[in-house]
């Protein structure tokens, strides 16, 4: 038997339908009768047809596998990108939204309940504390009065002088109160005056010549406490108008802080 390509490694090259059609069988010797030629030919035709069909089918399957592989890759990408998830249905969204609202309202209700309870408890607590303090105050006062009575009753030194003494004490107390108030008023006025001066100093010096101010050295931390202790002492005595006072700057303790303030 011969085929077109015999000897060229039949194991690697596949048998094609053409191979089957072109095959030629050598004649059998006269003494040995062979196959019926017509039968062999008919079978070969059938075999060629079958092979052709198989090859076509195989090619088709290969295409299909490739297409499916592409699809798998695409799906994997989509899954990784989390974009191709089936969108939830409107109904599902509605149901979940309602469930969420129910949960929210339970939480809100619980919070509200807790708020009311706490507020009530707090109000009661504060009321009790207030009452306790009032009672304590009243008790102490009563005790003091009792003590005063006992002292007065025990001593009985001079019932006559009592009124005069009380008068003097009252006078003294009034004077002390007046002096206290006066001192407080003085302090407040003095402070307003100093604060106003500080404000002026800042505004005016900045306006006078910002460029020279920039060159002044910054306060070192060591200098600061002195400044803080007497922020405007030299200013108090000085009556010079501030507008033209750039030349006097070095004389004043607080001057060097101006550049720092200009920063903002």
Partner 1 sequence: MDIPAMRASFAKATATGDEAPLYFYSHLFLSHPETRKMFPVSMAHQRDRFFHALGEVVAHVDDLDRVVPMLQALGRDHRKFGIVPAHYPAAGASLLATLRHFDDEWNPALEKDWSDAYGLVAKVMMEAAEAASDQPPWWDAEVVSHERRTIDTAIMWLRPEPGFSYQAGQSISLESDVRPKLWRYYSPANAPRPDGLLEIHVRAYDGGPVSTALVRRVGPGDVLRLGPPMGHIAFDQESDRDLLLVAGGTGLAPLKAVVDQVARYGPARRVDLYVGSRTEERIYDRAALEELGQEHPWLTVTFAVSHDDLSTLEQGDIGEVVARHGPWNSRDVYVAGPPAMVEDTTTRLLKDGLRPERLRSEVFAPSRLGPSLDGEVTQ
| Interface with partner 1 (CB under 8 A) | 81-83, 85-88, 90, 92-94, 96-97, 100-101, 103-104, 107-108, 111-116, 118-119, 122, 125-126, 129-130, 133-134, 137, 188, 192, 195-196, 198-199, 202, 219, 221, 224-225, 228, 231, 257, 260-261, 263-264
Closer to partner 1 by CB, 60 or 228: give it. Answer: 228
Closer to partner 1 by CB, 95 or 179: give it. Answer: 95
Q: Is the dihedral of CA 128, 129, 135, 138 positive or negative?
A: negative
CB of 100: closest distance to partner 1 in angstroms? 6
CB of 222: closest distance to partner 1 in angstroms? 9
Structure letter (DSSP) for residue 250: G
Closer to partner 1 by CB, 4 or 134: give it. Answer: 134
Measure CA 201 to chain center.
42
* 2 three-class SS: strand
Closer to partner 1 by CB, 136 or 158: give it. Answer: 136
Closer to partner 1 by CB, 223 or 246: give it. Answer: 223
Closer to partner 1 by CB, 155 or 217: give it. Answer: 217
Q: Which residue is associated with the tokens 């706490």?
A: 118
How many whole angstroms separate alpha carbon 241 and alpha carbon 121?
Answer: 62
CB of 237: closest distance to partner 1 in angstroms? 20
Closer to partner 1 by CB, 24 or 263: give it. Answer: 263
CB of 162: closest distance to partner 1 in angstroms? 30
CB of 157: closest distance to partner 1 in angstroms? 33
How many whole angstroms separate alpha carbon 165 and alpha carbon 1?
Answer: 156
CB burial of residue 258 (10 Å; 0-12, 13-18, 19+): buried
**Residue 21 near residue 45, CB atoms below 8 Å:** yes
CB of 149: closest distance to partner 1 in angstroms? 25
Both tokens of residue 146? 């009792």
CA nearest to 233, candidates 216, 252, 210: 252
Cβ-Cβ contacts under 8 Å for 259 (sequence gap 6 or more): 213, 214, 216, 218
CB of 148: closest distance to partner 1 in angstroms? 22
How many whole angstroms separate alpha carbon 255 and alpha carbon 247?
Answer: 12
């Amino acid at each position: 038997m011969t085929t077109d390509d015999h000897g060229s490694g039949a194991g690697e090259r596949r048998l094609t339908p053409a191979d089957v059609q072109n095959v030629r069988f050598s004649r059998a010797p006269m003494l040995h009768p062979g196959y019926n030629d017509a039968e062999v030919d008919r079978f070969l035709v059938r075999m060629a047809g079958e092979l052709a069909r198989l090859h076509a089918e195989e090619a088709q399957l290969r295409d299909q596998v490739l297409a499916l592989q592409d699809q798998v890759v695409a799906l994997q990408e989509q899954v990784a990108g989390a974009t191709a998830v089936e969108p939830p249905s409107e109904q599902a969204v509605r149901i979940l939204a309602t469930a969420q609202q129910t949960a929210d309202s339970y939480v809100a209700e619980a919070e509200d309940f807790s708020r009311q309870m706490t507020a009530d408890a707090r109000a009661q607590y504060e009321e009790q504390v207030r009452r306790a303090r009032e009672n304590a105050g009243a008790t102490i006062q009563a005790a003091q009065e009792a003590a005063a009575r006992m002292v007065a009753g025990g001593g009985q030194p001079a019932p006559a002088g009592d009124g005069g003494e009380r008068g003097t004490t009252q006078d003294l107390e009034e004077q002390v109160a007046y002096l206290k108030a006066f001192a407080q008023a003085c302090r407040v006025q003095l402070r307003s005056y100093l604060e106003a001066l500080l404000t002026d100093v800042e505004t005016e010096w900045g306006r006078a010549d910002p460029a020279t101010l920039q060159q002044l050295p910054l306060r070192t931390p060591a200098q600061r406490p002195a400044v803080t202790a007497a922020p405007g002492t030299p200013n108090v005595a000085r009556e010079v108008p501030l507008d033209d006072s750039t030349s006097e700057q070095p004389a004043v303790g607080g001057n060097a802080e101006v550049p720092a303030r200009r920063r903002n």
